[in-house]
Amino acid sequence: MKTIIIADSGSTKIDWRILQGQEVKTVFTLGFNPYYQAAEDFKKIIKEDLLPHVAGQVHHIYFYGTGVSSERNVKIITDIFKENFKEVQVELGWDLLGTARALCGTSAGIACILGTGSNSCEYDGKNIVGHITNLGWILADEASGTAIGKRFLYDYYRGKMPPAMAKKVKDTCHLELDDTLEKVYSGQKPGTFIAGFCKFIGENIKEEYCANLVKDCFRQFFTEIIVRYPSHQKSPIHFTGSIAFHFADLLKEIAAEYKTAVGKILKGPMDELVEYHRTHS
């Protein structure tokens, strides 16, 4: 029986699906970004967290990942798979390609990721035909969880947050400046730490400050990213990722300001990717 593994890999987590006939097994592991982490981290994920769930011969692995955009990174990941799975065919793709396949299928559209990080592309139904350069969480990542979290922390420490909200943050989040700076500048995954404050923002989204913060970040995404795609007012714009999913109403509101049509908004692309590969593998 043909066995296929599909992976949607981000910096925070990897969502795996193991397909064997009609059976689909779901596995979640820690994330991996080859730009920020050592190959040994990925080896450990495969050996300790994925392999125990895999039975029999694996024929094909489709791995869509953050940071899978250079020959060096492709070789690192491919070599690790081939160390652990005999005679397997490995297809590595940009996380954006997996996103586009999941959101658009074989139709044209603009596919966006708004999660811990952010990214986007223009897709013609088969290939990515346009892409605004992603500069990562330090330089850009508009409308990502990290971008929203950075703005939140800036407003809190610089006294730009309304007093009542600042008190609520102080009482709930217990933010000590030295601790925050240590986690941001010396921690292992500072972007994930910063994005973590989106949970608090989501819990308080009915507060004017929190809603406006998220909407301002979405406006920046549309201004800096979406309007630069020639087809942005002709093709549907689809989204996946925790930020898009949890703040979907605000996202639609901002999209309407830019006279753009929102298509799918998914928490993650995996269910649609499974269907895509059932059809096209």
Q: Kindly tell me the burial class for residue 225, based on how many C-beta atoms sit within 10 Å of its own C-beta (0-12, 13-18, 19 or more).
A: buried
pLDDT recorded at residue 21: 81
Dihedral angle computed from the Cα positions of residues 264, 266, 269 and 275, in that order, rounded to the nearest 10 degrees = -60
Same domain, 191 and 259: no
pLDDT recorded at residue 13: 87
Q: Are 33 and 11 in contact (CB under 8 A)?
A: yes
Residue 100: other Cβ atoms inside 10 A? 31
Please give the tally of structural domains in the chain: 3
Give the whole-angstrom CA distance, residue 238 versus residue 186: 35
Could you tell me the CATH number of the domain that includes residue 244? 3.30.420.40
pLDDT recorded at residue 156: 98
Same domain, 88 and 189: no
Same domain, 119 and 152: no
Task: Tell me which residue of 246, 278, 279, 244 sits closest to 263, measured CA to CA.
Answer: 244
Could you tell me which residues are beta bridge partners of residue 4? 19, 60
Where among 214, 234, 251 does a domain terminate?
Answer: 214
Same domain, 64 and 197: no
Task: Give 10-residue mean pLDDT values along the chain (281 residues).
Answer: 89 90 92 90 96 92 89 94 94 92 96 94 96 90 97 98 98 96 94 96 98 98 97 96 97 97 94 90 71
Give the whole-angstrom CA distance, residue 197 versus residue 152: 8
Same domain, 192 and 237: no
Task: Tell me which residue of 248, 279, 277, 278 sits closest to 63, measured CA to CA.
Answer: 277
pLDDT recorded at residue 45: 97
pLDDT recorded at residue 221: 98
pLDDT recorded at residue 278: 86
Same domain, 116 and 246: yes
Same domain, 132 and 227: yes
Same domain, 69 and 166: no
Task: Tell me which residue of 244, 246, 238, 243 sits closest to 272, measured CA to CA.
Answer: 238
Same domain, 233 and 126: yes
The boundaries of the domain holding residue 62 are 3-98+270-280
Task: Tell me which residue of 75, 85, 95 sits closest to 4, measured CA to CA.
Answer: 85
Could you tell me which residues are beta bridge partners of residue 280? none
